[in-house]
Structure 1
Amino acid sequence: MAFTSIGVTTSGHVATIEIQRPPNNFFDITLIEEIATAFETADADPAIRALVLAAQGKAFCAGADFARRDVGEERPGRHLYKEAIRLFRTGKPIVAAVQGPAIGGGLGLACMADFRVTCAEGRFSANFTRLGFHPGFGLTATLPRLVGQQQAALLFYTGRRINGEEAVRLGLADQLVPLAEVRDAAMALATEIAQSSPLGVAATRQTLRRGLADAVEQATERELVEQDWLRKTADFKEGIKATAERRLPEFQGR
């Protein structure tokens, strides 16, 4: 199919799916649908054994572009999350090339992958509480799986932004390379995976990720309930406004 927000290329047994919404690569349902469709197409191709998820521009994915929306409008979040579940049901290993910010839902997209290659310039943040919001994109299931419950709670409650070096130290990312080498290093890792037995890798991956997609689906149902009411609060409006104005929010707890 023709894509409008991504590009797909193949090299040997590896397919690269590139987000093409520079510089920030904000996501919406269209982008998630296209990535999911590209993943499913690769799943159906026995010649493809591993995937690289990469992005043009300065950011891997800076999350949702709240600044361009009326913060009070109803958004198709439920449908977006349903599309996101398709990503977690992908059968082939995914390496994310995180060359810049992976923020909010963008962090969720990065955590969906099996591995993350990044650089010192990489930025990782579950910034939802700084927006007066609740985590989404299944992060309440995936982030603790990667860094542990305690570190995940710390990242969620503070909304702090960490660099690539800290992400590797915490186990949020797997490999640190210079900025110019992120894409190549991700491709090298995917190629190394593709050199292993495809049946063996697939079977092992199914065991390791057993129940993950279901856990994410259950988590997103809870996340949606919390996001729905928080979206209507004054704190959420203040969080969005403060972010747009590049200042600390002044939350009132209402």
Structure 2
Amino acid sequence: MQHGSYEHIAVDVAGNVATIEVRRGPNNFVDTDMVAEIADALEVYDRTSEVRAIVLCAEGKHFCAGADFGSRGPDGVARGSKRGRHLYKEAQRLWRTGKPIVAAVHGAAVGAGVGLAVMADFRVTCPEARFSTNFTRLGFHPGFGLTATLPRLLGPQQAALLMYTGRRITGEEALAIGLADYCVPLDQVRSKATKLATEIAQSAPLAIVSTRETLRRGLADAVAQATEREYEEQDWLRNTTDFKEGTKAMTERRLPEFQAR
């Protein structure tokens, strides 16, 4: 049963599990409109008693390959500070919804794509998946609340390691450090996520929402504070020579040559 009409996502409810599928393949780049639609859908499901758990997934080659820094369309993060700030205001809404979310992560989860995956309560992935908080490799400051969410999930040391190096890790490595909860064959990622969401939905719904609120207490406020700080740092870094070099190097698939200016 489909609920609502959206441009960038598709939604469906089967039994007590809702599915939100991002439909901006193959890369599913983050932008303000897409994040706002996910938040809209989550808020609708908070008011829908039949929905007890949610699967967040994506069509195409990648779960979410981050922001499209090379594009010059109206919705990208790199176009200017006002859009960047608006994106984070919409993103903050994601953490203020109440029902548990399982992310089905295949392909790449890069930058803000990791932020979107970490927003969920659980992550199901596959060996072929690639996770990377590559902001510093672009000459940029981490965003999408990751400076609050990643240390909470992985511990400050492991989070710092991923953010300082910008390294890319596999689904198996993500499982080993706690970034993912299950690693299954690629063709089973979505079904495993749905199975986990169904298992969660079999618990008492009021008790689940109550327990989740206790476990995540303070997280939404921490994300709001973090995104304000992230935005301020991204705003000035966006104008540096290093950021221009980082995005250029990414486009040209080479190591950047940073100059600290």
Match of 1:48 in 2: 51
- List aligned pairs for 1:206-217, cutoff 5 A: 206-217=213-224
Find the aligned partners of 2:231 and 2:127 in 1 and give their Cα distance.
33
Match of 1:144 in 2: 151
Match of 2:172 in 1: 165
Report Cα offsets for 1:93-137 as digits up to 9, x if no partner: 000000111100011000000000000011111000000000000
| Cα shift at 1:224 | 0.7
Amino acid at match of 1:54: C
Report Cα offsets for 1:143-199 as digits up to 9, x if no partner: 011111001000000000000000000000000100000000000000000000001
- What is the total number of aligned residue pairs between the two structures? 254
Gaps of 5+ in 1: none
Matched, 1:178 2:185: yes
| Cα shift at 1:10 | 0.9
Find the aligned partners of 1:93 and 1:209 in 2 and give their Cα distance.
11
Of residues 64-73 and 151-160 in structure 1, the stretch that sits farther from structure 2 once superposed is 64-73
Matched, 1:83 2:90: yes
SS of the aligned residue for 2:11 comes to strand
**Percent of aligned positions that are identical:** 68
SS of the aligned residue for 2:70 comes to helix
Question: TM-score, structure 2 length as denominator?
Answer: 0.95
- Check whether the contact 1:97–1:186 (CA below 8 A) recurs between aligned residues: yes
Q: Which runs of 4+ in 1 moved over 6 A?
A: none
Matched, 1:27 2:34: no
Find the aligned partners of 2:187 and 2:107 in 1 and give their Cα distance.
11
SS of the aligned residue for 1:76 comes to helix
Question: TM-score, structure 1 length as denominator?
Answer: 0.98
| Cα shift at 1:43 | 0.6
Find the aligned partners of 2:100 and 2:164 in 1 and give their Cα distance.
30
RMSD (Å) for aligned C-alpha atoms: 1.1
Gaps of 5+ in 2: none
Match of 1:223 in 2: 230
Match of 2:100 in 1: 93
Match of 2:199 in 1: 192
| Cα shift at 1:251 | 0.3
